[in-house]
């Protein structure tokens, strides 16, 4: 029987005869990054394995392993190298992993080690040689794009790496918003809602920057700060990558926020806070479905989402964590369909100004605004209308 050793002090390496549990951590050699169990704010009894900035007072998570399945007790849970050489997470004394690196090549665990690098990249390698990468967290994005990682499209396999937002501020489970290279083949990155609707794109690479993101060019982003940008489009893969010189002493990250906004942030030592360098799309209310159904987005408000008159938040606790995507529910059911003779006397419309028609709005024949209203009232699937010479449902 093989005995396991617990990490007695922080190291950057986990070997086959060691395990990580409780408050034990891996710390990169330069001390910038740490890996261990963490608990998001507001998530009682939910723990995750993640990587965060070790030298920043406010814990900032850059990668999560078991983002879809938490553990309730980090002390009885273990991160270990399994018999087939995979890095796995065992929860609450269980022998069945709830998360694994899923390395397909079967290798002896005695020849495997896990190293947290100075870049924030967690790498599984052969113990005999560091050059053979079996798995790395830079290929398994969550919501953060770190310097040196490639959000790529492999032209031979067709695999497109993508970054997916957290569900809300306290839940790292995959949310509704994602960013990836255009699956149609163009070398631009697209933001999507629910993996289906594109609501923003970077534009194509101009040779120096993306046409829709001039802020992210070497000349505009903190001149002389040590940033380097690289765009590659060859017969094997397409990707964009940014790096920061080791002597720049700058922490920077690109994230896909729970609000669906793509942002670049830089840590400012003077204020001890993250400074947002750029945000897309602009305006923020152009993020598709960010406020959910029966709600409105107001551009300049601190809390951009609010329920329409006559509606309340469907899941109030989610709203407190900035997840508005479930939208709002009606306080009083409509009479439509229950008693058609009473419908036109009781169901009425509330006027809302300065709103955008949905992309799937239907055009209906109506001579005037009153005819448009009556046509909508007769159709129980119609809950709102707009008239500007043409009637839209």
Sign of CA dihedral 205, 208, 209, 211: negative
Quick one: pLDDT band at residue 53, thresholds 50, 70, 90?
A: very high
1-140 is a CATH 3.30.200.20 domain? no
pLDDT digits (tens, 9 = 90+) for 76-98: 999 999 988 899 999 988 888 99
Residues near 97 by beta carbon (within 8 Å), at least 6 away in sequence: 82, 86, 88, 89, 90
CA-nearest of 84, 71, 4, 86 to 36 is 71
pLDDT (mean) for 314-334: 92
CA atoms of 162 and 191, how far apart (whole Å): 10
Q: Which two tokens stand for residue 61?
A: 């998570």
- Read off the pTM: 0.88
Average confidence (pLDDT) over 254-258: 96
Any idea where the domains of the chain sit in the sequence? 1-140, 142-282, 295-330, 340-392
Q: Annotate 145-180 with b (16+ C-beta within 10 A) or e (fewer).
A: bbbebbbbbeeeeeeebbbbbbbbbbbbebbbbbbb
Beta bridge partners of 18: 5
Peptide bond into 129 cis (omega under 30): no
Q: Higher confidence at residue 377 or residue 122?
A: 122
pLDDT grade, residue 214 (50/70/90)? confident
- So what's the pLDDT on residue 348? 86
Higher pLDDT, 278 or 123: 123
Task: Give the separation between CA 324 and CA 1, rounded to whole angstroms.
Answer: 51
Percentage of the chain with pLDDT > 90?
A: 60
Is the CATH number of domain 142-282 2.60.120? no
pLDDT digits (tens, 9 = 90+) for 271-287: 899 999 889 998 888 89
Question: Is pLDDT above 80 for 267?
Answer: yes
pLDDT at 343 exceeding the cut of 60: no
Please list, in sequence order, all residues whose beta carbon lies within 8 angstroms of the beta carbon of residue 69, skipping any fewer than 6 positions away. Answer: 98, 99
What are residue 275's DSSP bridge partners? Answer: 266
């Amino acid at each position: 029987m093989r005995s396991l050793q617990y990490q007695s002090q922080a190291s950057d390496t986990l070997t086959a005869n060691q395990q990580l549990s409780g408050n034990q951590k891996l710390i990169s050699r330069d001390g910038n990054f740490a890996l261990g169990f963490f608990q998001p704010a507001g998530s009682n009894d939910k723990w995750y394995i993640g990587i965060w900035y070790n030298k920043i007072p406010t814990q900032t998570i850059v990668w999560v392993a078991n983002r879809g399945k938490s553990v309730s007790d980090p002390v009885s849970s273990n991160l270990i190298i399994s018999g087939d050489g995979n890095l796995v997470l065992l929860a609450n004394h269980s022998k069945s992993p709830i998360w694994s690196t899923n390395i397909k090549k079967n290798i002896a665990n005695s020849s495997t080690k896990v190293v947290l690098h100075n870049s924030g990249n967690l790498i599984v390698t052969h113990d005999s040689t560091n050059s053979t990468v079996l798995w790395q967290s830079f290929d398994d994005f969550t919501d953060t794009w770190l310097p040196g990682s490639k959000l790529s499209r492999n032209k031979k396999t067709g695999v497109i790496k993508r970054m997916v937002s957290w569900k809300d501020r306290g839940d790292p489970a995959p949310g509704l918003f994602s960013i990836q290279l255009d699956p149609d083949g163009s070398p631009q990155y697209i933001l999507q809602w629910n993996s289906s609707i594109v609501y923003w794109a970077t534009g194509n690479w101009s040779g120096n920057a993306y046409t829709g993101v001039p802020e992210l060019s070497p000349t505009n982003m903190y001149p002389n700060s040590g940033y380097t940008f690289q765009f590659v489009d060859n017969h094997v893969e397409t990707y964009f990558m940014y790096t920061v010189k080791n002597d720049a002493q700058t922490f920077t990250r690109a994230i896909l926020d729970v609000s669906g906004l793509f942002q670049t942030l830089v840590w400012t030592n003077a204020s001890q806070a993250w400074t947002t360098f750029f945000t897309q799309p602009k305006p923020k209310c152009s993020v598709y479905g960010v406020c959910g159904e029966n709600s409105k987005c107001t551009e300049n408000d601190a809390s951009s989402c609010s329920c329409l008159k006559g509606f309340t938040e469907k899941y109030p606790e989610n709203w407190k964590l900035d997840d508005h995507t479930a939208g709002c529910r009606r306080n009083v059911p409509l009479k439509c369909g229950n008693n058609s003779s009473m419908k036109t006397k009781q169901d009425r419309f509330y006027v809302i100004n300065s709103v955008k028609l949905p992309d799937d709005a239907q055009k209906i024949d109506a001579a005037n605004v009153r005819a448009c209203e009556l046509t909508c009232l007769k159709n129980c699937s119609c809950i709102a209308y707009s008239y500007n010479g043409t009637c839209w449902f």
